Chains A and B, each alone.
Chain A
Amino acid sequence: MLHTWPPFSETRAEEVQPIEAAFTVAPDILAIEGDFAYGEYLSSECTTCHQATGANDGIPGIIGWETEDFVIAMHAYREKHRENPVMQMITGRLADDEIAALASYFKSLGE
């Protein structure tokens, strides 16, 4: 099945930007196994702004997300279905496997 954006739980629904229409990511992309160590390295670019504690201070927390939610959100920025020029730029050069790696790592921080 195709997964639909946004599939968020209540705990972070308020952090999520609205999106103009359902945004989908193909199953084979969602199925990519994230390289945890690579994700840990790549995550350091994110933690300049997004706090590793998950706090929300003007910039949303991103730890502990379900990997699928994370992957869909990043693809939505990359395809410019979500706004914010910083996020569109950062995701613009992330390959599918890099997004999967980040999803794997940030999920682990919430565990």
Chain B
Amino acid sequence: MALNRRSFLGASAAGLSVLAAPTVQAAGHGKPRVVVIGGGAGGATAARYIAKDSKGEVDVTLVEPTRTYYTCFFSNLYLGGFKSISDIGHTYGGLAARGVNVVHDWATGVDRAAKTVTLAGGATLNYDKLILSPGIDFVDGAVEGWDITAQNKMPHAYKAGSQSELLKAQLAAMPEGGTFMMVAPPNPYRCPPGPYERVSMVAHYLKNNNPTAKIIVADPKPKFSKMALFQEGWANHYEGMIDWIGEDFGGGNVSVDPGAMTVTIDGEVTKADVCNVIPAMKAGRIAEIAGVTDGNWAPVNAADMSTKADPDVYVLGDASQQGDMPKSGFSANSQAKVCANAVRGALTGSRVFPAKFSNTCWSLIDTNDGVKVGATYEATDEKIAKVDGFISATGETSDVRKATYEESEGWYTGITNDMFS
């Protein structure tokens, strides 16, 4: 029996993990083939736009190991009790219905000479254009005493899903007056305001459930995204609860002992009841396997997100080294649309328009106290360069902050539809 895309998806959904290679290259028919690896804000958007806009002229395969994708953005709101885990979970049926061949498997190899991708299940995919959007992995040895085998004792919760649920359960189980510790990451990392929104959401939870508890943050940086806004908010809402130890006070000189549940900051040992370790980051491993990284990240050309290493391999989002854009879901979604337009143009001759990029990051400090930072960007020969930007002001009225939070909820619905519908 010849499998078409729909029956392949059905077989995959039924849990059949091994299929012979020829069946995966369904509906080849000489059409140009795009393989997208990673179904987050970059990859899902790129797959969706190429499929939608090419109207069947391009074969699009999306390789994503998880069947339900939990967005990192808004996962802090889940920790704070503002969202349920199902609120931030999304499936791929909408993309399949648009004609994207959704394959739930791990990509384990890329042969750029043969233009093939190998999957853990044994299949091989051919591509004309390959888009990698693998998000982040952690740098080995970044936090002394921590590695991925310690993630159940000291969760990172920086890839959303089971890690987020674990951290929330640990937060709920904290003893009265206990200590929540965070080891914050060095630049550059996914979602610059993310650790500090997380501190805010943990503080919100503790204020309501465990008000004598403390939060200690060890940070290797001297300053951080939206710092004035967060510090103002912490003073207003959570006075005396949060102790942020920056670089100047030894916040970068940190080791952990997951067995003893201790954190040593500049020689001083503290017992933690919950410890959230967010290590230094690098591009998701498949980018390194594909040989398109230079150091921790994959350098790309700003005009179309193609890699410096290979004009037929593109890298989107957190994994890319592109210039001035922060590593965020919004940025990845924005880059994906520029890339999709360029890839479709290269494969079908459709019109290619100039790259325009934008980003906005909303953060919630406490109930109805939202803040935002954003910028627009353009492609130069050298990089993605910032054009203009804005940031919420300290001392804004509660009406403005509430409207900003409501705007963030609208954005969440908008971007997740833009990725998955």
Contacts and interface: CB of A to CB of B under 8 A. Distances in A.
A86 B418 CA distance: 18
B307 interface: no
A47 B418 contact: yes
Contacts of B414: 47-51, 57, 59
Contacts of A41: 337, 341, 351, 353
Nearest to B360: A86
Given A57-B410, A59-B410, A86-B372, A45 B356 contact: yes
Interface string A17-46: 000000000000000000001101110110
A89 B375 contact: yes
Given A45-B356, A52-B418, A37 B351 contact: yes
Interface in B373-396: 374-376, 378, 387-390
Contacts of A92: 376, 388
Contacts of A58: 406-411, 413
Contact of B388 (A37, A52, A93): A93
B70 interface: no
A85 B392 CA distance: 9
Contacts of B358: 45, 48, 89-90
A13 interface: no
B330 to A, nearest CB: 7
Nearest to B378: A93
B356 A42 contact: yes
A48 B409 contact: no
A4 interface: no
Nearest to B409: A58
Contact of B411 (A38, A42, A59, A93): A59
**Which applies to chain B's interface (DSSP): helix, strand, loop or mixed?**
helix
A109 interface: no
B409 to A, nearest CB: 5
B333 interface: yes
Contacts of B374: 85-86, 89
Interface residues of A, number: 26
A57 B341 CA distance: 28
Interface in B324-360: 330, 333-334, 337, 341, 351, 353, 356, 358, 360
A93 B355 CA distance: 12
B413 to A, nearest CB: 5
A38 B334 CA distance: 16
A49 B411 contact: yes
B412 to A, nearest CB: 9
A58 B418 CA distance: 16
Contacts of A38: 351, 353
Contacts of A88: 390
B415 interface: yes
Contacts of B387: 93
A82 B410 CA distance: 19
B367 to A, nearest CB: 15
Contact of B417 (A37, A51, A85): A51
B49 interface: yes
A55 interface: yes
A84 to B, nearest CB: 8
Given A47-B418, A59-B414, A89 B390 contact: yes
A15 to B, nearest CB: 12
Contacts of A85: 372, 374, 390
B415 A49 contact: yes
B413 A51 contact: yes
Contacts of B330: 48
Nearest to B393: A85
Interface in A43-75: 44-45, 47-53, 55-59
A88 to B, nearest CB: 8
A94 B20 CA distance: 49
A93 B387 CA distance: 9
Contact of A48 (B351, B407, B418): B418
Interface of B: 49, 53, 330, 333-334, 337, 341, 351, 353, 356, 358, 360, 372, 374-376, 378, 387-390, 406-411, 413-415, 417-418, 421
18 contacts: A42-B353, A44-B49, A44-B418, A45-B334, A45-B356, A48-B333, A48-B358, A48-B411, A49-B410, A49-B414, A56-B410, A57-B410, A85-B390, A89-B375, A89-B376, A89-B389, A90-B358, A93-B356
Interface of A: 37-38, 40-42, 44-45, 47-53, 55-59, 85-86, 88-90, 92-93
List 6 tightest A-B contacts by C-beta distance, closest first: A58-B410, A59-B410, A58-B406, A85-B390, A44-B337, A49-B414
